[in-house]
């Protein structure tokens, strides 16, 4: 079978690219960590890359460009000016795009999410804003899969079942100036993950660590091939990185595997 090539795109300050690449390797993909500079026309010999070479695009977490200006804004602006049209056609061709944490912030700043009016908006139509607590929050979060069959990344996760992906961010509250925003996402089937309490009931802080409306943790575009989420599936590829694994015997596999296996299955 043909290799599934993954572009794990980074710039200065991206810092979760190793575990993101490892996660794709674990499900049999061939990830490559690519610096945005390598996408430039005048990239050093042998290092130049172009987006069309890849089957999947992933934006890992971190603090791209220091999160100066706004989380993800500089990375997004540079991508837009360098390869906006290529990115747009990558998405429109149906290839999967994943953004985790800072990656989600980048997708929103790029206008690829929520994408209520077309693939990629000129300016951002949403924001991932400072957590209600005003603090960086590194803690376990339980998510419910609320996808209704659209999103490429969750086919392996039974509908309405719960997974534990940890969160670690200071800006994860999804905001829009459209008051009807949540309903629109709901109607479009774009809400993929919601924070819940461990018993599955509506999340309260700290189970919703940022105050996101309707407990939204992750959304996809209307086509279902672009997923952005604040929590980190790549951090729980085995059970041994779950914070409570010593309390709960179980299989060695971690919840995060399902995200990566789902997207691989979608390409077969």
Partner 1 sequence: MAVIEIRIELKKGVADPEGKNTKKALEALGFEGVGEVKTVKVYDIEVEGTGEEAVSEGEEMCKKLLANPVIQNFKVTVR
Partner 2 sequence: MVKDLMTRRDKPYELFDVSLREASDEDLAKISGDMALSLSLDEMKTIKEYFVKEGREPTDIELQSLGQAWSEHCCYKSSKAILKEFVFGIGRDDVLSRGDAGVMVFDEDHGYALRIESHNHPSAVEPYGGAATGIGGILRDVVCMGAQPIALADPLCFGYPDRKGDLPPGTKHPRYLMSGVVSGIRDYGNKVGIPTITGGMFFDERYTGNCLVNVACLGIVKRADLAKNYAGGPGEVMVLIGGRTGRDGIHGVNFASRDLTETSDEDSRGAVQLGDPITKEPVMHACFEVNAKHLITGMKDLGGGGLSCVVGEMALDAGCGADVDLEKVPLKESGLAPWEIWVSESQERMMCTCRPENLEKVLAVFDSWDVLATPVAMTTGTRRTRIFWHGEQIFDMDQHFLTTGPLYHRPYVAPQVSSMENERSPRLPDDRTVILKLLSDPNVASKEWAIRQYDHEVRAATVLHPMVGEMNKTGPGDASVLRPVPSSRKGLAAAIGCNPWFTALDPYRGGMSSVDEAWRNVVAVGAMPNALTDCLNFGNPEKPERLGELREAVRGIGDFAKALNIPIPSGNVSLYNEAPGGASILPTPMMLCCGIIDDISKAVTADFKGPGNRIYVIGETKEERGGSLLYRVFGGKQGVVPSVDADNVRELTGKMLRAMDMRLISSCHDCSDGGIAVAVAEMCISGQTGAVLDLRKAADMSPRKVLYSESNTRWIAEVSEENAEEFEKIMGGSAHNIGKTGGNSMNIRDSGVIIEVEDMRKAWNDPIWKIMGGQS
Q: Which is nearer to partner 2, 2 or 41 (CB)?
A: 41
Q: Which is nearer to partner 1, 42 or 177 (CB)?
A: 177
* Residue whose token pair is 């996809």: 220
Residue 132 sits in the site that holds partner 1 (CB under 8 A): yes
- Name which position in 9, 168, 192, 229 contacts partner 2 (CB under 8 A): 168
Structure tokens at 229: 């989420």
x/- site string to partner 1, residues 160 to 189, per CB under 8 A? ---------------xxx------------
Residue 69 sits in the site that holds partner 2 (CB under 8 A): no
* Residue whose token pair is 């929520």: 114
Residue 36 contacts by C-beta under 8 Å, 6 or more apart in sequence?
9, 10, 11, 75, 78, 79, 82
CA 39 to chain centre: 21
Q: Rounded to the nearest whole angstrom, what is the least distance from the CB of residue 104 to partner 2 in the complex?
A: 16
Q: Angle at CA 174, nearest 5°, toward 173 and 176?
A: 130
Clarify whether 232 is annotated catalytic: yes
Clarify whether 234 is annotated catalytic: yes
* Residue whose token pair is 């953004």: 99
Residue 266 sits in the site that holds partner 2 (CB under 8 A): no
Q: Is 157 exposed, middle or buried (0-12, 13-18, 19+ CB in 10 A)?
A: buried
Residue 11 sits in the site that holds partner 1 (CB under 8 A): no
The contact set with partner 1 (CB under 8 A) reads 69-70, 73-74, 77, 80, 109, 123-127, 129-135, 175-177
Residues recognised as catalytic: 101, 232, 234
């Amino acid at each position: 079978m043909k290799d599934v090539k993954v572009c794990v795109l980074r710039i200065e300050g991206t810092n979760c690219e190793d575990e993101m690449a490892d996660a794709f390797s674990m499900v049999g993909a061939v990830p490559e960590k690519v610096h945005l500079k390598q996408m430039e026309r005048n990239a050093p010999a042998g290092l130049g890359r172009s987006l069309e070479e890849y089957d999947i695009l992933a934006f890992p977490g971190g603090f791209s460009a220091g999160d100066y200006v706004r989380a993800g804004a500089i990375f997004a602006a540079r991508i837009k000016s360098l390869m906006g049209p290529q990115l747009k056609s990558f998405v429109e061709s149906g290839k999967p795009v994943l953004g985790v944490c800072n990656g989600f912030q980048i997708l929103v700043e790029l206008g690829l999410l929520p994408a209520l009016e077309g693939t990629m908006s000129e300016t951002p139509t949403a924001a991932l804003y400072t957590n209600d607590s005003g603090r960086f929050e590194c803690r376990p979060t339980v998510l419910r899969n609320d996808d209704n069959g659209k999103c490429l990344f969750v086919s392996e996760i039974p509908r309405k079942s719960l997974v534990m992906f940890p969160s670690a961010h200071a800006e994860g509250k999804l905001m829009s100036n459209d008051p009807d925003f949540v309903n629109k996402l709901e109607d479009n089937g774009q809400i993929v993950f919601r924070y819940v309490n461990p018993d599955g009931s509506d999340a309260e802080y700290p189970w919703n660590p940022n105050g996101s409306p309707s407990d939204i943790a992750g959304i996809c575009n209307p086509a279902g091939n672009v997923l952005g989420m604040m929590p980190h599936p790549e951090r729980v590829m085995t059970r041994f990185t779950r914070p409570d694994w010593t309390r709960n015997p179980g299989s060695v596999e971690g919840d995060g595997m399902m995200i990566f296996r789902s997207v691989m299955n979608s390409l077969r």
